[in-house]
Amino acid sequence: MSDTIKVGDYIVVKRQKYTKLQKFTNLDTVVHLGKDQIELRHADNQPYHTTFQLVPKEGRNKRLFTLDPVQTVSEIRNLKELLIKESGTDNRNIVDDRSTQGLSAEEILKLREECESSSEVIGKLVENSKSFAAKTEYSQEKYLKRKEKKYFEYVEIRRPSIRLIADVYWRLDADKVMGVRFDTLSQIISYSGVCGIGRFLLYESGTNGLLPAAFINSIGAETEAKLVHMHPGNVAQKQAIQAMNFKPEQLNRCISVNLYSVLRHFYQEGKAEVSEPSTPSEEPKMEEEVTKDDNVDQMPSSRSWTKRRNQLKKQSWELENAAAVELMKEKFDALVIIAKEHPYNIIKALLPFVKPSRPVVVFNTTKEILLECYMDLKSSASVTYLRVTSNWMRNLQILPNRTHPDVVMSGNSGYLLTGYTIQ
């Protein structure tokens, strides 16, 4: 894995607390951060975690920027100590309209081009504000934070990681990853015991490839472990796998197959093995017939060879099914199921392929479905030490005299059913 940014890689663009996953398709790639458009041409061959300054590009588009790598960042100074000199008691007499700011929009854009740092721009805005001194100290801090977020002129390009991708997907739309928060993802990996040794079976439907990407990352590079990734559709979701920029060696040890197709292949192959072989007398004796008559037409034999050659040419999904079947015969060291549908039939179908005393982890967004699976597995006595758990996580704001939980947060990230197989 390269330590420098290359064309074709996925990157994470970070601006203060905001992160965005972007593919660096070509040198003309432009990433959109809010209303700002940033050209990524100058990021090529730069090391990851490099900080770039946003340089306005000349032209009609005032929101188009190019990147300039910097060694030392002139960070925004403590604006609270520099700019808050006096504060009002309340905001009842403040009229919030455009007349309170003495600078026009054109003058502010000119300031952004002339000033060397965001601190200078924000300082000019405060100096020309008629209502800033009359606001309360709390309102002044909010005003400075809002302006700091708007005029911050540095971005950092980072290498994608499971934590960053999980946070980006969760922030954009939690339903696209089935509500799997990062703390729940870590619990799934911990319960399943994924490591660089063994064979692991994963069924997932609807996480944009986040779960298989996390498993491949936990397995690591140049290890002996293998992963069979089962899915319900024709093509597996691999967005997160592609975003991680894994080596080909790691990707080759992840076999993605359709659940129903590979099960049909497995049981049909088993029936073919137990069927009786044909007797030698039934086999055609082509050599004897050819030697009897030298004038025999050779076209039938060439046609049969072409037909045999076409049969040998298998499609990629057939080869993956065959590779998965071989691993299913040897059985797996863990079973993980993250399904939108009711998981019990999937558990029942895949449980025979798991070795004894191995972990089983099932994720679902509703507790009642897992309780049904809990009772069924309990009565079948195929899994022991069954537990249904849920993570409880709260984000807290830590500020002087204003420490409290965040106003908007996720209350739940699904439930886990865990246990261990027995003979």
pLDDT tens-digit map of 203-212: 999 899 999 9
Average pLDDT over every residue of 248-273: 88
Q: How far apart are CA 195 and CA 176, in angstroms?
A: 26
- pLDDT surpassing 80 at residue 2: no
Predicted local confidence at residue 44, as pLDDT: 92
Q: Is residue 282 very low, low, confident or very high in pLDDT (cuts 50, 70, 90)?
A: very low
Instruction: Give the model's pLDDT for residue 110.
Output: 79
Residues 280, 284, 290, 293, CA torsion sign: positive
Give the pLDDT band of residue 299 (cuts 50, 70, 90): very low
Tell me the pLDDT tens digit for each residue of 22-43.
Answer: 999 999 999 998 888 999 999 9
Q: pLDDT-derived band of residue 313, with 50, 70 and 90 as boundaries?
A: low
Is residue 394 within 8 Å of residue 405, measured between CB atoms?
A: yes
Structural domains in the chain, CATH included, are: 4-74 (no CATH), 80-151 (no CATH), 162-270+316-421 (3.40.50.150)
Beta strands 334-338 and 199-204 are parallel
Which pLDDT score is estimated for 280?
A: 42
Residue 182 pLDDT > 50, yes or no?
A: yes
Could you report the per-residue pLDDT of 141-170, keeping only the tens digit for each?
888 888 877 878 889 999 999 999 999 999
Q: Identify the weakest region by mean pLDDT among 143-152, 192-201, 260-269.
A: 143-152
Of 96-100, 203-207, 261-265, 348-352, where does mean pLDDT reach its minimum? 96-100
pLDDT score of 292:
45
Average pLDDT over residues 64-70: 88
Is the pTM here over 0.85, yes or no?
A: no
| pLDDT, position 297 | 46
Give 55 or 309, the one with higher predicted confidence.
55
Taking a C-beta distance cutoff of 8 angstroms, is the pair 240, 267 a contact?
no
For residue 397, the model assigns a pLDDT of 84
Listed in sequence order, the residues at least 6 apart from 7 whose beta carbon sits closer than 8 Å to its beta carbon are 24, 25, 26, 27, 44
**83 contacts 123 by C-beta, under 8 angstroms:** yes
Max mean pLDDT among 137-151, 222-236, 311-325 falls in 222-236
Compute CA distances 58 → 64, 66, 105, 324, whole Å.
Answer: 8, 10, 18, 56
Contact 230, 202 (CB under 8 A): yes
Beta bridge pairs of residue 258: 231
Least confident window among 106-120, 239-253, 258-272, 360-374: 106-120
Residue 410 structure tokens: 């996720």
The residue written with tokens 């069954």 in the block is 386
Averaged pLDDT for residues 87-100? 75
Q: How far is CA 334 from the centre of its chain?
A: 21
